[in-house]
């Protein structure tokens, strides 16, 4: 039983590392990307009911989200290029 547990932990550790240098960084960037995409969708939904005075603020926030999304995508591509030259 102890041997099975040790083998199981070894396999889990190997899968977690996944022979990839930036595995956690890529996972974290993907998580941030999903979060920013959800924020962008929420901002787009706000355009349905926002006052005309606040519309300019929402537009600015949408532009900010777009720039953050583009930055995250650039970082993901950079990680991929460093792993697959």
Per-residue pLDDT tens over the stretch 22-72:
678 888 999 999 999 999 999 999 999 999 999 999 999 999 999 999 999
Which sequence spans correspond to the domains of the chain?
20-83
Q: What is the SS3 assignment for 15?
A: helix
Looking at residue 12, its pLDDT comes to 65
HEC letters along 18-81: CCCCCHHHHHHHHHHHHHHHHHHHHHHHHCCCCCHHHHHHHHHHHHHHHHHHHHHHHHHHHHHH
Q: How far is Cα 67 from Cα 49, in angstroms, rounded to an integer?
A: 24
Q: How far is Cα 74 from Cα 12, in angstroms, rounded to an integer?
A: 30
The DSSP code for 84 is -
Higher pLDDT, 80 or 69: 69
């Amino acid at each position: 039983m102890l041997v099975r547990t040790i083998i199981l932990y070894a396999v889990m550790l190997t899968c977690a590392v996944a022979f990839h240098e930036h595995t956690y960084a890529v996972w974290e960037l993907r998580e941030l990307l999903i979060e920013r995409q959800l924020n962008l969708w929420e901002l787009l939904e706000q355009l349905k009911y926002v006052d005309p005075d606040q519309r300019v603020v929402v537009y600015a926030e949408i532009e900010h989200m777009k720039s953050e999304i583009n930055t995250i995508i650039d970082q993901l591509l950079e990680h991929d290029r460093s792993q697959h030259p």
